[in-house]
Structure 1
Amino acid sequence: MTTPMNPAALNAALMRECIDACLTCLKACENCAAACLQEPELQMFRDCIRLDRDCADACDLTARLLLRGSDMHPDACRMCAQACAACAAECERHAHHHEHCRVCAEACRACEAACRKLAA
């Protein structure tokens, strides 16, 4: 029989999950932006690059606030989830032809979900 996890341990587990998701998403967004800059149709990727960079910054800030146990983390998580949703939607437009966009969209959706769960 398993014992139920206490609220403090559950919150710590959710925070670790969110930090990991933020760092994974940060890396995917930076990789996607760099790859988009190498695409021959650069103008087509302008919004993708902008959203990749915004999302990467949101993920970085959120991970840092979570790591230091800041009381601002719920607001940061909500902001990060919004940035991830916007970035994922844009990357999904290109995902069928560009692996970097597919990987980024998946990381963004996972981070969005982790941030929304923690902010709730």
Structure 2
Amino acid sequence: MPGMEMMDMAAMQACMDACSACEQACTVCSTQLMDCAPACMNCADMCGTMMRSMMRMQGMTPAVMMSMLDACIAMCQYCMEECMAHAEHSDVCRMCAQACRACMDACTTMRDSMMKMAS
């Protein structure tokens, strides 16, 4: 990808790690048979797709990656809110919500880094 030499690789790695952790937490949480299960399954899929896309960078334009980061942030936000409704009664939901928050933060940092690089 053009401009890769300027990419904040630490931010990218942190984002991939957070996506992976969120994917795992959401997968476990979706098995709890709570109302948040559909959100968790969708979030796990989104995080997995985001992580795999960042790992294969070839053919990925900055605009596409920014859109994917925005979608991942939005899905994590939704999943976090759904899981927080059960967090008081479920340790799994609370951990999932925390993983979603961490993923949102890492994806936001990555997006901000890309925006700085573009300007």
State the one-letter code of the partner of 1:61: T
TM-superposition CA deviations, 1:43-100 (whole Å, max 9, x none): xx23x01100110011011001111123232211110000000000110110111011
* TM-score normalised by length of structure 1: 0.82
Runs of 5+ consecutive residues of structure 2 not aligned to the other structure: 113-119
Q: Report the equivalent of 1:8.
A: 6
After the TM superposition, which residues 11-50 of structure 1 pair with which residues of structure 2 at under 5 Å, given as runs? 11-34=8-31, 36-37=32-33, 45-46=34-35, 48-50=36-38
Percent of aligned positions that are identical: 36
Quick check: which has more Rg, 1 or 2? 1
Q: Report the equivalent of 1:78.
A: 70
**How far 1:8 sits from its partner (Å)?**
2.8
Q: Report the equivalent of 1:119.
A: 111
Secondary structure of 1:94's aligned partner: coil
Residues 70-79 or 11-20, more deviating: 70-79
**How far 1:116 sits from its partner (Å)?**
1.4
Q: How many residues align?
A: 104
**How far 1:118 sits from its partner (Å)?**
1.0
**Partners in 2 of 1:54 and 1:24 — Cα distance?**
15
State the one-letter code of the partner of 2:10: A
Larger relative contact order (CA 8 Å, sep ≥ 6)? 2
Is 1:59 the equivalent of 2:47? yes
Runs of 5+ consecutive residues of structure 1 not aligned to the other structure: 1-6, 38-44
Q: CA RMSD in A?
A: 1.3
**Partners in 1 of 2:15 and 2:75 — Cα distance?**
15
